[in-house]
Chain A
Amino acid sequence: MSGARAMDARDGHLLSERPSRRRLWTDRIATGAMAAAVIIALLPVVLIFYYIIREGLAAMNWEFLTQAPPFSYRREGGGYVNGLIGTLMMVGIATVISVPLGILAAVYLVEYGGRNLLASLIRFFSDVMTGVPSVFVGLFVYTAFVVPYGFGALMGAAALSIIMMPIVVRSTEEMLKLVPQEIKNASYALGAAKWQTVLRIVLPSALPGITTGVLLAVARAAGETAPLILTALGSLTITTALVGEPISALPLAIFDGARTPFAAGQARAWAGAFELLAIVLVFTLLARVAASRSSISR
């Protein structure tokens, strides 16, 4: 046995045998195909960022950040501060509504509901709601609230919170499920009641993951256009009213500007897209930093 092995090695047959041509080529083709797939998948994203940054930066200035648009799309100057205010208001209100409710629902699903009927219903509707086109949400809010009370920031926020809620519920649920039973047991063994364990152990342990889910939801809401057409409508003037007055939002203003045949309107739309992108990115970074801070000393 060992004699045969020694002989093989002496003849150079054991390890130095060259791979067959076929295997070599299969390997090369597979590697090449995967690299091509990665490039094709990334190309649109890179191009989108490239154009938004190039065109957006060209049209960006202090006036854009602080002024409302002129009443004619043809005119140059002005900006989307009305849209910025609207987006911050509506996304802010929607976050305040949907994040606590969504997290509470997820805690119920994981820690209390188990497989009972209510929990199954919440799961089912969350799944359905993540798949529903957002324009339907807009239509619902339109018939239920806009028809009786008129367009306004609150209506837009309602639509956005309906869109955000299922994202928050399902992502938080996944994160809560990852909290190991062992540390929950440790808490119970110290005489902690269930609510104390949830509040002081389960939620803090899952916080970084929950933050990621919330960010996804916020980013999604910040970019929604269709439901806002039906609920906030859009406006060329600055307003901070909650109800009774149409209000602008960055995606609405971008949509409006991009549709015009005039260079000035389109330039403002590029700058608006850049502004929206920057807001979402900065916000994501801040929340990430906050979550990682709290996970060290929590």
Chain B
Amino acid sequence: MTEPVFSVNHLNVSYGGNLALKDVCLDIHPREITAIIGPSGCGKSTFIRCLNRMNDLVPGAQVEGQVMYHGEDIYGADIDPVTVRRRIGMVFQRPNPFPKSIYDNVAFGPRINGFKGDLDELVERSLRRAALWDEVKNKMRKSALALSGGQQQRLCIARAIAVEPDVILMDEPASALDPIATVRIEDLMQELKQEYSIVIVTHNMQQAARVSDKTAFLYTEVDEESMSRWGILVEYGPTGGIFTKPLDKRTEDYVSGRFG
């Protein structure tokens, strides 16, 4: 068994005092695709944002517990979130290219990180890996906002891999895309998995089953008395097991499409 990339211990997250995620513990392994599934509002985005400290930017968000990244707590006192995010990239649910040219979008990360090598070559390589190069190679100076939604999302992936991170977090990267663009992004993830560790949030059960090696199922727990609700980790393991032989009744109901 290889050393885990992330080792999450007793993670609690609350927004303005309201608990959103309770006592999550799991290990994420290198060169694997880890899928996070669960009903809407159960805290999947909250969880994934903890892995690169994006929750620091949400006013009122409070994170407790440990997120060990290669043995180092990224919430440790002497850790700079900027350094964390340079190692752990993120692709968001909605494509969010900068209002700049296609080239400048991809070159942004390397530039701010003081990249010294051949920038043109790095931009081309990143776009090729994101399966976008052929579509944009003749309009590198054109605005990224003129691309289609699917192209924009692949551009965002190219932008994320241009800084050569160690982990890529994806929060429902294909939710706004058509089936063809979705398949391209899934193929791309298989490709990227050779070198990166990928954590993907998805609402699409087939997608989780198709692409991931491990699956974590989060679920909303409701406290009947106070009517407050928070997310918990119900089950985590190899994807095949979660979808064919789930241990928990709630997982079974969810993956087979029976809610309640």
Contacts of B89 in A (CB 8 A): 189-190
Known: A189-B52, A191-B109. A182 touches B94 (CB 8 A): yes
| Contact A191/B100 with A185-B92, A200-B108, A297-B141 known, Cβ cut-off 8 Å | no
Closest to B101 in A: A297
Task: Choose the segment among B19-27, B156-164, B236-244, B246-254 that binds chain A (4+ C-beta atoms closer than 8 Å).
Answer: B156-164
A186 to B86, CA, bound (A): 12
Closest to B85 in A: A191
Please provide the 7 A-B residue pairs with the shortest distance between their CB atoms, ordered closest to farther: A191-B86, A189-B90, A190-B109, A182-B96, A191-B85, A186-B96, A192-B112
Q: When the two chains form their complex, are residues B113 and A201 in contact, meaning their CB atoms are under 8 A apart?
A: no
Is the beta-carbon distance between B112 and A196 smaller than 8 angstroms?
yes
Query: A295 vs B99: C-alpha distance in the bound complex, in angstroms?
Result: 8
| Cβ of A54 to closest chain B Cβ, rounded Å | 44
What is B's interface to A at a CB cutoff of 8 Å? 52, 54, 57, 82-83, 85-87, 89-90, 92, 94, 96-101, 104, 108-109, 112-113, 141, 143, 156, 159-160, 163
A192: B residues at CB distance < 8 A: 82, 108-109, 112
The residues of B that contact A58 with a CB separation of less than 8 Å are none
Given A200-B108, A296-B143: A183 and B156 within 8 A (CB)?
Answer: no
Q: Chain A: how many interface residues by the 8 Å CB criterion?
A: 21
| Chain B CB within 8 A of A205 CB | yes
**Chain A nearest CB, measured from B82 CB (Å):** 5
Report how far A223 CA is from B85 CA in the complex, Å.
50
Which of B86, B99, B101 has most A Cβ within 10 Å? B99
Q: Are B96 and A298 in contact (CB under 8 A)?
A: no
A282 interface residue per 8 A CB criterion:
no
B contact residues around A180 at 8 Å (CB) = 96
CA distance A204 to B101 in the complex (A): 12
CB distance from A188 to the nearest CB of B (A): 6
Q: List 6 A-B contacts (CB under 8 A).
A: A182-B92, A186-B96, A186-B98, A187-B108, A189-B89, A192-B112
Q: How far is the CA of A183 from the CA of B86 in the complex (A)?
A: 16
Residues of chain B with a CB closer than 8 A to A296's CB: 143
Let me know if A43 is at the binding interface, CB within 8 A: no
Give the CA-CA distance A295 to B96 in the complex, in Å: 17
B163–A190 contact, CB under 8 A?
Answer: yes
Q: Does A147 contact B (CB under 8 A)?
A: no
User: Is A187's CB under 8 angstroms from B82's CB?
Assistant: no
Cβ contact within 8 Å between B156 and A186: yes
Q: Does A193 contact B (CB under 8 A)?
A: yes
A183 to B113, CA, bound (A): 18
Q: Which of A78-100 contact B (CB under 8 A)?
A: none
A295 to B104, CA, bound (A): 13
Judge whether A201 and B98 touch: CB under 8 Å. Answer: yes
Asked whether A185 and B57 contact (CB < 8 A) given A205-B99, A295-B99, A298-B99, the answer is yes
Compute how far the CA of A200 lies from the CA of B104 in the bound complex, rounded to whole angstroms: 11
Q: Smallest CB–CB gap between A171 and chain B, Å?
A: 19
Contact A188 B85 (CB under 8 A): yes
A185–B160 Cα distance when bound, in Å, is: 12
- Per the bound structure, the CA–CA distance linking A100 and B236 in Å amounts to 54
Provide the bound-state CA to CA distance between A191 and B80, in Å. Answer: 10
A111 to nearest B CB, angstroms? 12
A182 to B52, CA, bound (A): 16
Instruction: Decide: A185 and B143 in contact? CB cutoff 8 A.
Output: no
What is the distance, in angstroms, from A207's C-beta to the closest C-beta of chain B?
Answer: 10
Interface centre among B57, B83, B104, B112 (most CB of A within 10 A): B112
Q: Contacts A189-B89, A191-B112, A200-B108: A183 and B101 contacting too (C-beta < 8 A)?
A: no
Question: A189 contacts which chain B residues (CB < 8 A)?
Answer: 52, 54, 85, 89-90, 92, 160
How far does the alpha carbon of A298 sit from the alpha carbon of B143 in the complex, in Å?
9
- Is A204's CB under 8 angstroms from B100's CB? yes
| In the bound complex, CA of A205 to CA of B108 (Å) | 14
CA distance A222 to B187 in the complex (A): 60
Residues 186-226 (chain A) with a chain B CB within 8 angstroms: 186-193, 196, 200-201, 204-205
The residue on B at minimum CB distance from A196 is B112
Residues of A within 8 A of B54 (CB): 185, 188-189
Contact B83 A183 (CB under 8 A): no
CA distance A191 to B108 in the complex (A): 10
Q: Is the CB of B96 within 8 A of A191?
A: no
Contact B85 A183 (CB under 8 A): no
Determine if B108 and A190 form an interchain contact, defined as CB atoms under 8 angstroms apart.
yes
Alpha-carbon distance A49/B149, docked complex (angstroms): 47
CB nearest neighbor in B for A181: B57
- Complex CA gap A182/B108 in Å reads 16
Q: Is the CB of A183 within 8 A of B96?
A: yes
Among A190, A201, A205, the residue within 8 A (CB) of B85 is: A190
